[in-house]
């Protein structure tokens, strides 16, 4: 389990994260959402020990990430948004760098490359951005780490790759792994990310499972307009309206509408979820 308590971080004088408290459990694929500049990437780099907290603490199953102990790092993979073009065949890269991760599995790497229809014999600096990204995603999942943090992994992926990404993630993450995926492409990852974390500059606005969200909020896709909508948006063929769930009926969670609802009613939503 990952526990973050009262975490604060700033770049020089400029505060980025403040009073962030949350826990991340095993066996879950968290979606980390937030507006541009709220500090999603900063949070990921703090979690993997590339930066140190200014205030507060991070505890990952007894490890302090910034100590960067080998036993901790070999069980963690951080996939950043920008990935280096290496002058190496993908399969050679995997064999060489896989050694740093104890549980790395080359067969798994090749299988995932197969799902992505990516050629492991191709040189990485000859690949397109999307192909390169898919190579690193395959590598990340083949490391069999307990903690996998991905920053915007679906950026640059073509349309078929997005479904392949969902398949690879659901099929190849360990049952006790914790995945944290930051993204703006919520449609790419809808039905995959659960729980959902919504980050704000000063606060964690939401950290709840899809089950909790559909228990507490009702997403109405009908054409009927009722009073008391927290959020409504016209879509072709009707609208999406979000209400506090009073009937107990469980509806499909629309993550974009959820995000907008949470941003419009920060305190109210926090109240609903902290009950």
C-beta of 253: minimal distance to other proteins in Å? 7
Q: Decide whether 151 or 194 has the Cβ nearer to other proteins.
A: 194
Q: Which two tokens stand for residue 89?
A: 């065949």
C-beta of 83: minimal distance to other proteins in Å? 23
Q: Decide whether 152 or 220 has the Cβ nearer to other proteins.
A: 220
C-beta of 268: minimal distance to other proteins in Å? 22
Query: Which residues, in sequence order, are CB contacts of 31 under 8 Å at separation 6+?
Result: 181, 183, 186, 189, 192, 193, 194, 195, 196, 197, 255
C-beta of 251: minimal distance to other proteins in Å? 5
Q: Decide whether 98 or 195 has the Cβ nearer to other proteins.
A: 195
**CA distances (Å), origin 164, targets 73, 90, 129, 231:** 27, 18, 16, 32
Interacting residues toward other proteins by CB under 8 A: 27-29, 163, 166-167, 170-171, 175, 191-194, 209-211, 214, 219-222, 250-253
Q: Decide whether 33 or 253 has the Cβ nearer to other proteins.
A: 253
DSSP per-residue string spanning 52-67 = --SEEEEEETTB-GGG
Alpha carbons 174 and 172: distance in angstroms, whole number: 6
Q: Decide whether 175 or 267 has the Cβ nearer to other proteins.
A: 175
Query: Which residues, in sequence order, are CB contacts of 253 under 8 Å at separation 6+?
Result: 210, 213, 214, 217, 219
C-beta of 264: minimal distance to other proteins in Å? 21
Alpha carbons 163 and 178: distance in angstroms, whole number: 21
DSSP 124: G
């Amino acid at each position: 389990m990952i526990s973050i308590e009262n975490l604060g971080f700033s770049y020089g004088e400029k505060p980025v994260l403040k009073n962030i408290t949350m826990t991340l459990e095993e066996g879950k694929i968290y979606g980390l959402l937030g507006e541009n500049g709220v500090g999603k990437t900063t949070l990921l780099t703090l979690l993997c020990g590339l930066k140190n907290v200014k205030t507060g603490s991070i505890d990952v199953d007894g490890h302090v990430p910034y100590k960067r102990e080998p036993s901790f790092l070999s069980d963690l993979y951080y996939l950043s948004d920008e990935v280096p073009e290496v002058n190496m065949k993908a399969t050679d890269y995997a064999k060489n760098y896989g050694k740093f991760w104890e549980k790395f599995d080359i067969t798994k790497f090749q299988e995932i490359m197969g799902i992505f229809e990516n050629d492991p014999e191709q040189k990485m600096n000859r690949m397109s951005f999307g192909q390169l990204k898919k190579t690193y995603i395959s590598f990340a999942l083949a490391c069999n780490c307990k903690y996998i943090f991905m920053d915007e992994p679906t950026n640059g992926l073509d349309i078929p790759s997005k479904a392949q990404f969902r398949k690879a993630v659901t099929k190849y993450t360990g049952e006790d792994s914790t995945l944290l995926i930051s993204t703006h492409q919520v449609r790419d990852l809808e039905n995959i990310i659960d729980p959902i974390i919504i980050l704000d500059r000063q606060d964690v606005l939401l950290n709840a499972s899809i089950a909790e969200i559909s228990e507490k909020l009702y997403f109405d896709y009908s054409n009927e307009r009722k009073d008391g909508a927290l959020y409504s948006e016209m879509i072709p063929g009707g609208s999406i309206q979000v209400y506090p769930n009073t009937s107990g009926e469980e509806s499909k969670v629309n993550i974009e509408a959820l995000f907008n609802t949470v941003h419009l009613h920060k305190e109210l939503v926090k109240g609903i979820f902290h009950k």
